[in-house]
């Protein structure tokens, strides 16, 4: 008897997008809406517009006579995974930079990128979107400086926010950096399709002057653009921001960059990377804070006051020996937290299942809470009312189908089964109701 892969491939041979769109009706042993309990022997009806029309137990979901039928036995269907932090323009560079002291690692990545042509990043970003699909990921919060992500997501049919990076550690660079940013954002807005949001990212405290942080924040807020910042990631960053010291401090002195990190407002404020960005107007409900490892309770309280959404990257944090983010405390404070992988230079591959398991372990989560951090919760980092990240009528039909394997008695909890998975257990991925990935050879 054919398994789930053999059964589906024949059905999907004709791409619904290349002919008149018809409804699609998926059935699976389990449907996991994430925002609601699992549905056994569930079904999902996808309308010709690429959005979910109905979801529920099989008999409760209409079966229009003209619908494509996509059965997935021994599998669970859940919302397409939402990766809260990627750098897809770096796809293909896994293993190219050795782990090292963080400031040296950052410099090695910069030097590696400087040797690559713009076309290289365009191809890498498209490959990255396809690799994300193969790992069940349909939405990414992606930061990069090549600008390749906007066309890549649009062309491949994915969705997400692309944050165009801005750099400039010297205050004399502000005008030049802002001019470049305005040009890059105009290009991005021309390239981004309707499911791709354009944002900006002043990179990190050790690459951006105080004046540039302030200029980017004012510029983005005036235009309603979301922001993303790498924040409180390493001990080296904290040493630099609080005292102008550590390896980043040495690097700035060697480049004759004024020690802006020491220009704290008077009277002397509490010093930390979080306080530093807040002092320059960067933190708010549309600024995604990436990593947030080096925090004390006052930082957590400040992030909560500003309602800053958090991208938690547990595997990357450990790879770089930054330690663990205080995930349980962040969640307790009411902050929105999603999980992200970071780039393949940091983590080798985009395995959001591993990130969700790591988050679960860190904060003592249930399986559903952990899965939610890579779907429902991560979707809410952008907006309090997104139309992705859970299975509900009216939401985008962005789905991941995960093989649960043969059912051993007693049948395992499907949410535990999915959480234990790896990218190679993804059977198929849908975006706007279109199959954007399927496992196994095409027959």
Q: Of 142 and 415, which has the nearer Cβ to Zn ion? A: 142
Q: Please return the burial class of 265, using the count of CB atoms within 10 Å of its CB with bins 0-12, 13-18 and 19+.
A: exposed
Choices 9-17, 211-219, 318-326, 339-347 (CB under 5 A): range interacting with Zn ion: 339-347
Q: How far is the CB of 290 from Zn ion (least distance, A)?
A: 6
Q: How far is the CB of 260 from Zn ion (least distance, A)?
A: 22
405 to 424, contacts with Zn ion by CB under 5 A?
A: none
Residue nearest to Zn ion (CB): 342
- Cβ density class 207-241: b for 16+ within 10 Å, e for less: bbbbbbbbbbbebbbeeebbbbbbbbbbebbbbbb
Choices 106-114, 299-307, 334-342, 380-388 (CB under 5 A): range interacting with Zn ion: 334-342
Q: Of 230 and 434, which has the nearer Cβ to Zn ion? A: 230
Q: How far is the CB of 230 from Zn ion (least distance, A)?
A: 6
Q: Of 145 and 342, which has the nearer Cβ to Zn ion? A: 342
Q: How far is the CB of 92 from Zn ion (least distance, A)?
A: 16
The C-alpha atoms of residue 328 and residue 354 are separated, in whole angstroms, by 18
Q: Of 274 and 365, which has the nearer Cβ to Zn ion? A: 274
Give helix 235-243 / helix 102-114 axis angle, nearest 10°. 100
The C-alpha atoms of residue 225 and residue 160 are separated, in whole angstroms, by 14
Q: Of 251 and 347, which has the nearer Cβ to Zn ion? A: 347
Q: How far is the CB of 236 from Zn ion (least distance, A)?
A: 15
Choices 247-255, 280-288, 300-308, 337-345 (CB under 5 A): range interacting with Zn ion: 337-345
The backbone region for 244, taken as left when phi is positive above 0, alpha when psi lies in -120 to 50, beta otherwise, is left
Q: How far is the CB of 346 from Zn ion (least distance, A)?
A: 7
Choices 34-42, 123-131, 335-343, 365-373 (CB under 5 A): range interacting with Zn ion: 335-343
Please say whether the beta carbons of 303 and 332 come within 8 A.
Answer: no
The C-alpha atoms of residue 3 and residue 8 are separated, in whole angstroms, by 9
The C-alpha atoms of residue 80 and residue 37 are separated, in whole angstroms, by 17
Q: Of 342 and 415, which has the nearer Cβ to Zn ion? A: 342
Q: Of 162 and 244, which has the nearer Cβ to Zn ion? A: 162
256 to 315, contacts with Zn ion by CB under 5 A?
A: none
Cα dihedral 165/169/175/177 (nearest 10): -20
Choices 200-208, 243-251, 324-332, 342-350 (CB under 5 A): range interacting with Zn ion: 342-350
Q: How far is the CB of 35 from Zn ion (least distance, A)?
A: 28
- Dig out the tokens for 186 from the structure: 């105009």
The site that binds Zn ion (CB under 5 A) totals a number of residues, namely 1
If we measure between CA atoms, which residue out of 428, 399, 436 comes closest to residue 52? 399
Q: Of 212 and 228, which has the nearer Cβ to Zn ion? A: 228
Q: How far is the CB of 136 from Zn ion (least distance, A)?
A: 21
Q: How far is the CB of 424 from Zn ion (least distance, A)?
A: 25
Choices 146-154, 210-218, 341-349, 400-408 (CB under 5 A): range interacting with Zn ion: 341-349
Task: Enumerate the β-bridge partners of residue 403.
Answer: 75
Q: How far is the CB of 388 from Zn ion (least distance, A)?
A: 22
Q: Of 260 and 344, which has the nearer Cβ to Zn ion? A: 344
Choices 193-201, 340-348, 361-369, 423-431 (CB under 5 A): range interacting with Zn ion: 340-348
Q: Of 204 and 401, which has the nearer Cβ to Zn ion? A: 204
Binding stretches for Zn ion (CB under 5 A): 342
């Amino acid at each position: 008897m054919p398994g789930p892969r053999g059964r589906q491939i024949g059905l999907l041979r004709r791409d619904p997008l290349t002919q008149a769109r018809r409804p699609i009706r998926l059935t699976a042993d389990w449907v996991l809406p994430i925002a609601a309990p699992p549905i056994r022997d569930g079904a999902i009806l996808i309308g010709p517009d690429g959005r979910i029309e109905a979801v529920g137990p099989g008999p409760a979901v209409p079966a229009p006579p003209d619908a494509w039928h996509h059965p997935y036995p021994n599998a669970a269907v859940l919302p397409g995974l939402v990766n809260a932090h990627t750098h897809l323009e770096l796809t293909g560079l896994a293993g190219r930079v050795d782990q090292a002291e963080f400031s040296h690692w950052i410099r090695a990545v910069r030097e590696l990128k400087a040797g690559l042509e713009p076309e290289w990043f365009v191809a890498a970003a498209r490959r990255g979107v396809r690799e994300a699909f193969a790992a069940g990921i349909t939405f990414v919060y992606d930061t990069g400086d090549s600008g390749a992500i906007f066309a890549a997501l649009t062309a491949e049919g994915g969705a997400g926010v692309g944050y165009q990076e801005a750099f400039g550690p010297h205050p004399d660079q502000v005008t030049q950096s802002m001019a470049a940013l305005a040009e890059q954002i105009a290009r991005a807005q021309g390239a981004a399709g309707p499911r791709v949001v354009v944002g900006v990212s002043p990179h990190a405290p050790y690459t951006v002057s105080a004046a540039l942080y302030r200029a980017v924040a004012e510029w983005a807020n005036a235009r309603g653009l979301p922001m993303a910042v790498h924040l409180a990631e390493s001990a080296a960053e904290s040493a630099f921001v609080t005292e102008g010291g550590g390896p980043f401090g040495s690097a700035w002195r060697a480049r004759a960059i004024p020690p802006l990190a020491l220009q704290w407002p008077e009277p002397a404020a509490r010093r930390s990377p979080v306080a530093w960005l807040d002092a320059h107007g960067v933190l708010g409900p549309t600024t995604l804070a990436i990593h947030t490892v080096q925090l004390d309770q006052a930082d957590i309280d400040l992030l909560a006051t500003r309602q800053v959404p958090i991208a938690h990257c547990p595997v990357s944090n450990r790879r770089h020996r930054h330690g663990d983010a205080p995930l349980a405390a962040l969640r307790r404070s009411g902050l929105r937290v999603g999980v992200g992988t970071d780039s393949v230079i940091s983590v080798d591959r985009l395995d959001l299942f591993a990130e969700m398991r790591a988050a679960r372990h860190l904060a003592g989560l249930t399986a559903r809470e952990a899965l939610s951090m890579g779907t429902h919760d991560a979707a809410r980092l952008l907006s309090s009312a997104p139309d992705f990240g859970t299975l509900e009528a009216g939401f985008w039909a962005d789905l991941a189908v995960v093989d649960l394997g043969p059912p051993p008695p007693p049948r395992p909890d499907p949410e535990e089964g999915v959480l234990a998975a790896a990218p190679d257990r993804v059977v198929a991925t849908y975006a706007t109701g279109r199959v954007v990935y399927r496992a196994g050879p095409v027959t």
